[in-house]
Structure 1
Amino acid sequence: MVLVGGCAGIPDESQPVAVPQQELGQIANPDVQQPPRDLDPLTVVRDFVRASAQPISNNASARMYLDDGASKNWQPGKIANVIDDQFNTVYTAAQDLPANPNQVVVMVRGTNLGTLGADSSFLPSRSPFELRLLVNKQSDGQWRISNPPANIAMPYSDFNANYVRVPVYFFAQDSNTTVPDLRYVAGKPQSGLPARVVSLLLSGPSDQLIGAVRSPLPEGTNTEGNVTTTPDGALVVPLTGLGDQTPEVRKLIAAQIVLSLQAVTTNRVRLLSDGNPLVDGHEDWLFTDVPSYTSLASPGADLQGLMTVGGRIRSLADGQPINGPAGQGGYQVVSAAQSIDGRQLAIVESDNGRQRLRIGPYGSAAQVVNLFGGTLTRPTWRPTATADGTAGEVWTVVDGQAVVRVLRTSDGGWTGQAVNAEEVLTVGPITTLRLSRDGSRAAMVVNGQLVVASVVRAQDSVTLRGPRILQMGTLNGVVDVDWLGQDTLVAATTMPSQPVVKVPIDGLRLDPFNSANLTPPVTGITAAPGRPIVVADSSGLWTASDVGEVWRPHPHSFSPRAAPFYPG
């Protein structure tokens, strides 16, 4: 679809026209063509903005709209603005026009949705966008731009059409759980996609995840020659500079590379280190050869979820109260969280007008933690570092302001430590906090907005760093959030038109769920990999598996006040 530009019959401006959204990763035609002759300045500018999304051959398509001097000297920066598909191109006011009749100034006006950073990650934002371009009439009568911007601007749909989203994989700080880092690479030439992904992997995590993840690739690792496909169909990744790494580390490196490449190739991957197999006895890798590195971040199939109803905890599987005081009325349960392995419960309990935290084995008595407040957010568990480990860290937010992690002590007790959340609190009070099941990120509801931050751990402190408001200005009234996957969130809102939404962790897009059958307000939501999503509305509990499905009544919906939760 061609974005309709301004025409000669409307000398003052061109009307905004929406471009239909294309699926992420669809590749535009890379052929560089001269613009049609006799385009008016408004259309030249509009077409230049759209062509700017094609990075192939040093932005050759966009350079076609520049005059000779600008075309030779233009050096686009490493940061690009992604703007809404609806934008205007307008002439400046008469008093601002150049004296030369062969020059006009055209303003591009729209909404900035975010930026594609130098690290190839998307940073969401929402603000007015304005770009001022000088357009000159050339000796052949054609209008061309003479002052192209340092930072490219490209419409959302054109960005989607020309860039491929790739999860680049790193590891959690203290375990071998893989963590996806969403990045965007140019889709053309397609043959170079694997090399671009490997380059991103070698350059380390995005700015957002620095300090929150680790890479087993040692500093100084590079490729010896190009990432190429052999005549027998293997994609060769020739590494160099790995040094003396243990067999276990080499297997982690292999997993990193193969998992990161699965989005851009179906070839088997031949991993070499200085000409030899990276892993002894295993030169060629298929994606199915990589063992699971997410087991610690995924609840077992037998853990079907719980719900808080009327101060007690019941099973989502059969609706029955669970064993122990939490299910039998011994505590006045406000909210709760089950550890990922299912063996422990953290409970927020109402106590004489205040709330306090209890932690204990599932189905048994839970000890009181020395943590009280007017309100405590529903707890959330940090994953264990090993399969045989016991979960020993629970997070909650006291009175919307103090983020606390509660740690197991050597004598079996629990003690609270403050988390540095200064950057998040500048946005507002925190009413919901959910740690990702890999422990590297936190999703929060802050002042009714959906926020994601990285969890950065130092020797004696933990910080929530780099908070990002997802779909700012579009997604409001958020009341609850959970992790559908490692890179995808689902949220419940007070918005009647989209009470339940799905959002990637970088906030590039927003997908509303079908609102049929739901009776707003939706008050709670829970999700986990491979599980149906469960929401609570004013009539009870409902389930669906993905966007577009009609919500089905949950078979054990007791009350509109039920609050469902999966382990995590």
Structure 2
Amino acid sequence: MRRARIVAALAAGLLLAGCATVPDESQPVAVQHQELGQIANPDVQQPPRDIDPLTVVRDFVEASAQPVSNNAAARTYLDDAAAKAWQPGKLMNVIDDQFNTVYAAGSDLPANPSEVVVVVRGTALGRLAADSSFIPSKNPYELRLLVRKQADGQWRVTNPPANIVMPYSEFTANYVRVPIYFFAQDSNTIVPDLRYVAGKPQLGLPARVVSMVLSGPSDQMVGAVHSLLPDDAGIEGNVTMTPDGALMVPLTGVGDQTPEVKKLIAAQIVLSLQAVTTSRVRLLSDGNALVPGHEDWLPSDVPSYTSLASPSADQPGLMVVNGRIRSLADGSAIPGPVGQGAYDVTSAAQSIDGRQLAVVDKANGREQLRIGAYGAAAQQVDLFGGTLTRPTWRPTATADGTAGEVWTVVDGSSVVRVLRTPDGGWAGQAVNAEEVLSVGQISVLRLSRDGTRAAMVVNGQLMVASVVRTQDSVTLRSPRILQQGTLSGVVDVDWLSQDTLVAATTLPSQPVVKVPIDGLRMDTFNSSNLTPPVYAITAAPGRPIIVADDGGLWTASDVGEVWRPHPHSLRAHAAPFYPG
């Protein structure tokens, strides 16, 4: 019932939005019956006359990225029967822009001289799932299409694919990336879930975003985040612009929620809409203000729900140098045993609040974990392994505000979360990482600072998985290799923001890269001043990125910047890290 209400309301909203935009459109589009695929508006631009079958297929693939009016542009490349019958599925394949259309060869070709088989060959970059999230997977792609000469002499496709295929550039031109916001499972930390929404008709874009918020998290994030909207929440009427310039979102089914929950619902919707509108958002519940006394919202009206996931400005970061921990602020050794050489530290992590340290030190030919307060002695936690990855802290989730969970990987094959015990000690528990370990051993693991995802280096590849928690287990689920086949030799990774990673590699052509968590694209940083290989990297929201190579530490804030020497760069082998 909930989905039916949403679909019915949004369908009406899109119809109104489409009518409103007709006078402003530079090109008319076809209006079609959604079930039969019939073109009711003959003014849709037709293909050029007398184009050959290879061009017909190429243009069909490129036009398939335009979802307006039930893919009206793509249907013009189909024969009449196919244009009426084609009902593409919800999955959409995205391929590289460099693809080929060639005539098929072999013995199974049609005998009819008015028919040819055209093969589309390219590289699949991934697919847009039914929940509108992008799932990366780099594989060869091939599609065979039968093209027939019509009575008027024009070639047309007769067997369009069950799932749409489109080139990358056409996909990014026609779909808008929108972070849809939900909350971490056990805290009020808000978390983005990247989705892709059809960009036209533009006036219907906010309605499509609201629909995604109501539909809940993507499949990958189910169990890692949750929505504060109840299952029976919906839209009463249309998402429309009011005469005074506000975007009205008339919710229903949320009136029984507490005032605090209503504020969290407002945060979900307003922050999700900020990618597609700059208007005030008027949130209504059964005709009244969702939050009494606060009818209209801007993103700036939403309180910060990421404070637990962001290091404060007074935490400058640290670095491991020659077995000791030093401050990134002034290069001095920090107080306590870890700064004074009592332990042979190989890697370390500082809790987001800065009050605790987890360090890996080397003793008797093996590595061991120690956890303690900043500046104090650290307790040894025996994890019964020879090697440990650099530790990473889960954000604070305890009543007293003290972080109580550290993750590491033992011998590349056992993911362990170390929990604070009631007596103040620490004990390890296994994390179910079977899906990740089926790909290979883990050399780096970094929890996102909101605790809902893990970024990893697995066999030199960059991978992201969701962190799903139940009452009695924690699982790394739905792992995805980012930029598979393009990005290799990865040696370190960190979270630049909640939805963006930066990674260091051994490749001279791309020593440092930036990748969104869905892996759709990759940006390579300027390599000027760096001396590959880069062996360590750290990043955090609002902080400069710091990398380490044989020349010391270097900083930059964006991909186009030239790397600058860090003020306290040391020639010795240094490994920098921000809290998290």
TM-score (norm 1): 0.94
Deviation at 1:28, TM superposition (A): 11
- SS of structure 2 residue aligned to 1:95: coil
Q: Counterpart of 2:71?
A: 59
**Alignment partner of 1:431 is 2:449:** no
Alpha-carbon distance, 1:567 to partner: 0.2
Task: State the shift of 1:242 in Å.
Answer: 1.7
Partner of 1:128: 140
Q: Which amino acid aligns with 2:315?
A: L
Question: Residues of 2 paired with 1:29 and 1:371: CA distance?
Answer: 65
Greater Cα offset, 90-99 or 304-313: 90-99
Partner residue of 2:550?
A: 538
TM-superposition CA deviations, 1:512-556 (whole Å, max 9, x none): 000111001100000000000000011111000010100001111
Q: 1:524 aligns with which of 530, 533, 536?
A: 536
Paired residues of 1:83 and 1:114 also in contact (CA < 8 A): yes
Counterpart of 1:34 in structure 2 is 46
What is aligned with 1:20?
Answer: none
**Match status 1:179 vs 2:191:** yes
- Letter in structure 2 aligned against 1:287: P
Aligned partners of 2:234, 2:144: CA distance in 1, in Å?
41
CA deviation map 1:123-162 (0-9, x unaligned)? 0000000000000100000000000000000000000000
2:75 & 2:26 partners in 1: Cα distance? 17
Listed as ranges, the matches of 1:158-557 within 5 Å are 158-385=170-397, 388-557=400-569
AA aligned to 1:129 is: Y
Which runs of at least 4 in structure 1 moved beyond 6 Å after TM superposition? Answer: 27-30
CA drift of 1:561 comes to 1.1
For residue 69 of structure 1, give the secondary structure of its aligned residue in structure 2: helix
Query: Is residue 88–residue 108 contact of structure 1 (8 Å, CA) maintained in 2?
Result: yes
Residue 243 of structure 1: CA displacement?
Answer: 4.4
Change (3 A) 1:406 1:113: same
3-state DSSP class of the match of 2:558?
coil
Conserved in 2, the CA contact under 8 Å of 1:537 and 1:560? no
Match of 2:158 in 1: 146
Distance in 1 (CA, whole Å) between partners of 2:209 and 2:371 is 43
Q: Which residue of 2 aligns with 1:46?
A: 58
Residue identity in the other structure for 1:277: A
| AA at the equivalent of 1:219 | D
Equivalent pair of 1:309/1:559 in contact (CA under 8 Å)? no
Question: 1 CA distance for matches of 2:240 and 2:50?
Answer: 43
Q: How far 1:472 moved relative to its partner?
A: 0.3
Equivalent-residue separation in structure 2 for 1:465 and 1:337 (angstroms): 24
Q: Is the 8 A contact 1:357 1:372 kept in 2?
A: no
Q: Secondary structure at the match of 2:284?
A: strand
> Is residue 541–residue 560 contact of structure 1 (8 Å, CA) maintained in 2?
no
2:291 match: secondary structure? coil
Residue correspondences, number: 542
Is 1:105 aligned to 2:130, yes or no?
no
The aligned counterpart of 2:20 is none
Identity of aligned residues (%): 80
Distance in structure 2 (CA, Å) of the matches to 1:352 and 1:559: 27
CA contact (8 A) 2:92 2:127 kept: yes
Residue 119 in structure 1 maps to residue 131 in structure 2: yes
Rounded Cα–Cα distance in structure 1 between residues aligned with 2:200 and 2:429: 49
> What is the deviation of 1:387?
8.5
Unaligned runs of 5+ in 1: 1-26
CA distance in 1, matches of 2:208, 2:348: 44
Residue 496 of structure 1 deviates from its aligned partner by 0.8
Once residues 37 and 258 of structure 1 are traced to their aligned partners in structure 2, the CA distance between those partners, rounded to angstroms, is: 47
Q: 2 CA distance for matches of 1:132 and 1:56?
A: 25
Partner of 1:7: none
Give the CA deviation at 1:385. Answer: 2.6
Decide whether aligned partners of structure 1 residues 206 and 85 sit closer, same or farther in structure 2, where only a CA change above 3 A counts: same
| CA displacement at 1:304 relative to structure 2 | 0.6
SS in 2 for 1:373: coil
Secondary structure (helix, strand or coil) at the match of 2:382 reads strand
Secondary structure, aligned partner of 1:140: coil
On the 8 A contact 2:322/2:572 being kept in 1, the answer is: no
Provide the aligned C-alpha RMSD in A: 1.2
Distance 1:267 1:545 in 2: 30
Residue 36 of structure 2: aligned partner: none
Judging changes above 3 Å, is the alpha-carbon distance between structure 1 residues 508 and 29 closer, same or farther for their aligned structure 2 residues? farther
Q: CA, structure 1 residues 113+30, in 2 after alignment: closer, same or farther (shift >3 Å)?
A: farther
Unaligned runs of 5+ in 2: 1-24, 30-43
Which position in structure 2 is the counterpart of 1:13? none
Separation of aligned partners in 2, 1:193 and 1:387: 40
Q: Secondary structure at the match of 2:54?
A: helix
8 A Cα contact 2:392 2:406, kept in partner: yes
Secondary structure of the 2:107 match is helix
Distance in 2, Cα, partners of 1:516 & 1:85 = 29
CA distance in structure 2 between the partners assigned to 1:180 and 1:454 by the alignment? 12
Q: 2:478 & 2:109 partners in 1: Cα distance? A: 42
Q: Mark the CA change 1:28 to 1:311 in structure 2 (over 3 Å): closer, same or farther.
A: farther
On the 8 A contact 1:85/1:156 being kept in 2, the answer is: yes
Q: Secondary structure at the match of 1:375?
A: coil
Q: Output the TM-score relative to the length of structure 2.
A: 0.92
Find the residue that maps to 1:495 and give its secondary structure.
Answer: coil
Please give the per-residue CA displacement for 1:409-450, whole angstroms capped at 9, x wherever unaligned: 111000000000000000100000000000000000001000
